[in-house]
Amino acid sequence: MSNDLTRLTAAELAGLVSKGEASAVEVTQAHLDRITAVDDRVHAFLHVDTAGALAAARAVDERRAAGEKLGPLAGVPVAVKDVLTTKGVPTTVGSKILEGWRPPYDSTIVQRLRDAGTVMLGKTNMDEFAMGSSTEYSAYGTTHNPWDLSRIPGGSGGGSAAALAAYEAPLAIGSDTGGSIRQPGAVTGTVGAKPTYGGTSRYGLVAFSSSLDTPGPCARTVLDAALLHEAIGGHDPRDSTSIPAPVPDVVAAAKLGATGDLTGVKLGVVREFAGEGAEPGVTAAFRDAVDTLTKLGAEIVEVSCPHFKYALPAYYLIAPSECSSNLARFDGVRFGLRVGDDGNRSLEEVMSLTREAGFGPEVKRRIMIGTYALSSGYYDAYYGQAQKVRTLITRDFTAAFEQVDALISPTTPFVAFPIGARTSDPYQMYLADLFTIPTNLYGGPGISVPCGLSEGLPVGLQIMAPTMADDRMYRVAAALESAVGTFTPPAL
């Protein structure tokens, strides 16, 4: 029975629980058992909250027994990226500098997950402070791709994506600053959606780059992602940048798309991303996906977004600049790691030693880049210029969406690469986010949905929509999914 439960979708599990055909405790225990069985090889989790999960599951079962009407995801386990604060449960952001920190408060997303009756299994691995595309920059070891344990699961949210692909959880939360939900989704054969910036609350999301960070849903099916999106989305008065509007009806859009009919939908292929820079196998899978979408009734046109080629350099000025400021608070004074406080060293020395010991090399690299880009005399040339590029990229999107309903591209230029293959050259790692970064700079939504395999490894299709039109991408993604199916990795 246990193994069966882990293979079900979130929608199916919620159905079983609400009908009393499985208890939330049984569902939770099945996933905890699966974690015990496989996570020593996958290493998706940094912390498993067995007691908390079972208590939450029991509460759901009690509510059901008391005759309460349960929500559409009640009793469904969810894995949470370790970037979101969880009250009393360790939150490390994949960094040594927060080792052992137990936040005194829940992030809004986690609070909403609790309100929805979902069961938090634990916290998933990630590149330190969400900076990376492989989880190799986690201070707590690399996560392994369930499709091939010698390969990376993508990043920064590789833990969440791997937990889904390894059937350790049916749902997971990620955060996407430059592709950290979508790229892991693509390389693990799962679905990852980055909502419109401001469509999901950042309160309690440990900041990397405030103007780009977007928490969002990860799942194995488009409908599950939409259900999770609906549960966590919507206005939050604790986040000034949160949009005061209802969540677009993503669940209805996913159901509409599942009918497999895209008649009347016009999709744009981004010319600049259509071939160059991507592996041949990825390009081939993408072309197949375009054919499939055409067969489903969509009209496909080519659209030019001439400034997208500047997105990567602009991103690598804006994100590090904001990070250099956001990460200043990690100084050993109030929480987390403190090094060198022996009574003889000055405050500056203790701060410096703490940060030296607590941050990994990629984080330090970005703090240095950002500090430089914001310095007096360089601001206009770097941060200021990057913001102008950001405006031009936004204009590219706006112009494109006057012609088409949504844009499509491969999610990432290459399939899961072997662990260690790109760590020696930061730029090779940065290229993983080449196609996902423009969406973050614009602030619109993007989703990655599995579209095929290349040499036995999953390839993702990215669908990008206008801001607050998240429903459009769900419709297209669900239609594609209805045609190509879901992808199951080899048994672990």
Site for other proteins (CB under 8 A): which residue of 3, 294, 304, 375?
375
Interface segment toward other proteins; rule CB under 8 A; list 116-124, 233-241, 417-425, 428-436: 233-241
Contact region with other proteins (CB under 8 A), list: 43-51, 180-188, 249-257, 330-338: 330-338
Q: Give the DSSP H/E element, type plus range, for residue 254.
A: helix 250-257
Q: Name the pairing type of β-strands 45-48 and 119-124.
A: antiparallel
Sign of CA dihedral 423, 427, 431, 437: positive
Indicate which single residue of 2, 50, 371, 482 sits in contact with other proteins (rule: CB under 8 A): 371
Element housing 268 (H / E): strand 266-270
Residues 38 and 165: beta-carbon distance below 8 Å: no
Give alpha helix (H) positions in 133-177: 158-165
Q: Using the rule CB under 8 A, which residue among 104, 280, 485, 490 binds other proteins?
A: 104
* Helix and strand totals (H; E) in the chain: 17, 11
Is 58 or 114 the residue whose CB approaches other proteins more closely? 114
322 binds other proteins (CB under 8 A): yes
- Return the DSSP state at 466: -
Q: Where are the alpha helices (DSSP H) in 296-405?
A: 311-326, 347-358, 361-374, 385-403
Show the tokens assigned to 172. 């997971």
Report the residue number, 103 or 199, with the smaller CB distance to other proteins.
103
Radius of gyration of the chain (CA): 21
> Hey, which bits of 3-145 come out as E strands?
45-48, 77-81, 119-124
Kindly state whether residue 239 participates in binding other proteins, applying the rule CB under 8 A. yes
The one segment of 188-196, 319-327, 393-401, 482-490 that binds other proteins by CB under 8 A: 319-327
Size of the site for other proteins (CB under 8 A): 44
Of 30, 289, 374, 447, the one binding other proteins (CB under 8 A) is 374
379 binds other proteins (CB under 8 A): yes
Whichever of 53 and 98 has its CB closer to other proteins, that residue is 98
**Which sequence positions are flagged as catalytic?**
81, 156, 180
Closest CA to 436 of 221, 253, 270: 270
128 binds other proteins (CB under 8 A): no
Query: Does residue 214 interact with other proteins by CB under 8 A?
Result: no
Q: Name which position in 19, 67, 342, 376 contacts other proteins (CB under 8 A).
A: 376
* Distance, CA of 176 to CA of 401 (rounded, Å): 22
* Binding residues vs other proteins (CB under 8 A): 84-85, 91, 93, 98, 101, 103-105, 107, 202-207, 209-211, 237-241, 321-322, 324-325, 328-331, 333-335, 347-348, 351, 371, 374-376, 379, 383
